Chain A
Amino acid sequence: MNSAFFPLAVFFAAVFINNILLANYLGMCSFLSVSRELKTSVGLGAAVTFVMATTSLLNWLVYHYILLPLGLDYLRFIVFIVVIAAFVQLVEMIIERVSETLYAALGIFLPLITVNCAILGVCLFMVIREYDLLSSFTFGLGSGIGWFLAILAMAGIRLKLARARVPRGLEGAGITLIITGMMALAFMGFTGMIRL
């Protein structure tokens, strides 16, 4: 499928059908630990979306214009992670200078993001699926928004859950995983909406 709608289709597929968290299990660690509060979830979700969209773009350029011509394909893991880490550091420094309030809101989440598997995952998926530049960007953006959606929903549910009586062995991680499973089931309803 090479129509003009392809990037758009990739975007919607990344948000709903192949949700990076619910279908590909990526970004679970920060998802489980941060989803306790609505406010922090929003902060982390926004930061992840931003970094994912921009690093997928950056890494696409690095991969296609530097690594492939030089035949350094096998070094992509190291290069991708360095690009992500450097970019995150840069953003952190810029935000610190430009806006105090934004730094207070997002600053603490940025270091966490470097080791978020979802970011590296998006970059690796885009290489394997051979997306072009625009599709890679929409894929990164869509995955970020999909992750945002999942963590926001989970934070909302956990807010209600605080008053529920959960079996003792299931408290904490257990019940969160079961709810994630149910969310994954619900998202499976989107399967087949877009065929890539």
Chain B
Amino acid sequence: MAKAKVKKVFLDPLGKQNPVFAQVLGICSTLAVTNVLKNTLVMTMGVVFVTALSNFTVSLLRKVIPSRVRMMVETLIIASYVIIVEIALKAFVPDIWRQLGPYVGLIITNCIIMGRAEAFALSNPPGISLVDGLASGIGYAYVLLVIAFFRELMGSGTIWGYQVMGSWWTNWSIMVMPPGAFFMLAVFIWIVKGLLLTNEEKKS
């Protein structure tokens, strides 16, 4: 029973309850860095770390946080973890840290993290909250990695900085510019929703 629940909590955010294409939450801060795969990976790792640990911490403290100020407390917990991420990035990957610029700090206002803390961690024990935060973070990360993969491939003809497209390929410079991210995300949502809809039709 308990095992089944853990499995469900872990798998739901990866599939049909995915925070990005089912709820369209939290794309603000990370969409901006999806033009290069490497930066996206670093950024989403940060998001996974913060989501998991802030969910865990909020859940630990859920009985002592007065409900009137809970948003503020949650924000402060999240902000503390984001500061840890920022300091770590600055120390270990300073180049990427410089490219990410203000977007690392903006993980604080990523709606997914706050959303999970509000919707899940406040009413569940710490262990399962950690799993939920981890899964939501990963569900979020893989969608953005897919987007980043295609944006980098089409926009610069590279993957992870290595040239993969031959000289016949003309870079779609629109893909590395802001509109490319919006189109890419829309197409991704379209494809996934289309698949889900046809699946449902088959069932009924």
Spell out A's residues near B (CB within 8 Å): 22-29, 32, 74-78, 81-82, 85, 111, 114-118, 120-121, 124-125, 127-128, 167-170, 172-175, 177-178, 180-182, 184-185, 188
Q: Is B87's CB within 8 Å of the partner chain A? A: yes
Whether B189 pairs with A120 at a CB distance below 8 angstroms is no
Q: How many Å from the CB of B72 to the closest CB on chain A? A: 6
Stretch of B98-106, B119-127, B148-156, B158-166 on the interface side: B98-106
Whether A117 pairs with B72 at a CB distance below 8 angstroms is no
Q: Which residues of chain A have C-beta atoms less than 8 A from B27's C-beta?
A: 25, 28-29
Interface core residue of A26, A74, A75, A76 (most chain B CB under 10 Å): A26
A111–B177 Cα gap in the complex (Å)? Answer: 32
A178–B105 Cα gap in the complex (Å)? Answer: 27
Judged by DSSP, the binding face of A is helix
A188–B190 Cα gap in the complex (Å)? Answer: 25
Whether A121 pairs with B178 at a CB distance below 8 angstroms is no
Could you list 19 further interchain pairs (A-B, Cβ under 8 angstroms) beyond the known A77-B79, A169-B194?
A25-B32, A26-B32, A29-B25, A32-B24, A77-B83, A78-B79, A114-B71, A114-B75, A115-B111, A124-B101, A169-B197, A174-B190, A177-B183, A177-B186, A178-B186, A181-B180, A182-B179, A184-B178, A185-B179
A44–B24 Cα gap in the complex (Å)? Answer: 19
Spell out B's residues near A (CB within 8 Å): 21, 24-29, 31-32, 71-72, 75-76, 79-80, 82-83, 86-87, 101-102, 105-106, 108-111, 114, 174, 177-183, 185-186, 189-194, 197
A78–B191 Cα gap in the complex (Å)? Answer: 38
Whether A173 pairs with B189 at a CB distance below 8 angstroms is yes
The 10 closest A-B pairs by CB, nearest first: A181-B182, A124-B102, A169-B194, A177-B186, A117-B109, A169-B193, A184-B179, A173-B24, A28-B28, A117-B28
